Amino acid sequence: MPCFQDFKKFTSKQIVAAIEANQHESRRDWMLKIFSEEGLKNSRNKNYQFWRQDSQPQELYSLAFIFQKINYIHNNPVEAGIVEKPEHY
C-alpha cells in the first residue's frame, strides 16, 4: 500500500500546516493538542498523528456500498453521543 501511505503522509502534513497557519481557526489549539497527544503514542511518529494507524482503504465498488459508508460517516457523531440526529452535526 505505498500509494495509500504516500497519500496519508502528504495529506496529513498539508492539513496540519493549514491548521497551524490559520490563526482565526477557533479549534486550532484543541486540534493540534489532540494530534500531538496521539503522535506521542506512536513510536514511529515525531510530531502529530492525523490518520489512524489501522485504517484499511476499501474500494467503493457499488452504489449500495457507497451509501453504506456515507451513512456510517453521517452517524458517527450520533454514535459518539455528540448529537441526537445526524442532521444536528
Contacts for 46 with CB less than 8 Å, ≥ 6 apart:
39
pLDDT of 46 strictly over 80: no
How far CA 60 is from CA of 4, 66, 72, in Å, comes to: 15, 6, 14
For the four alpha carbons of 4, 35, 52 and 60, in that order, the dihedral sign comes to negative
- Statement: residue 1 has pLDDT above 70: no
pLDDT (tens digit per residue) in 17-34: 999 999 999 999 999 999
For 71-89, the pLDDT digits (tens) are 999 999 999 888 999 998 8
Closest CA to 71 of 51, 57, 63: 63
pLDDT tops 90 at residue 44: no
- Report CA 13 to chain centroid distance, whole Å: 12
Candidate from 43-52, 56-65, 71-80 with smallest mean pLDDT: 43-52
Which sequence spans correspond to the domains of the chain? 1-54, 58-89
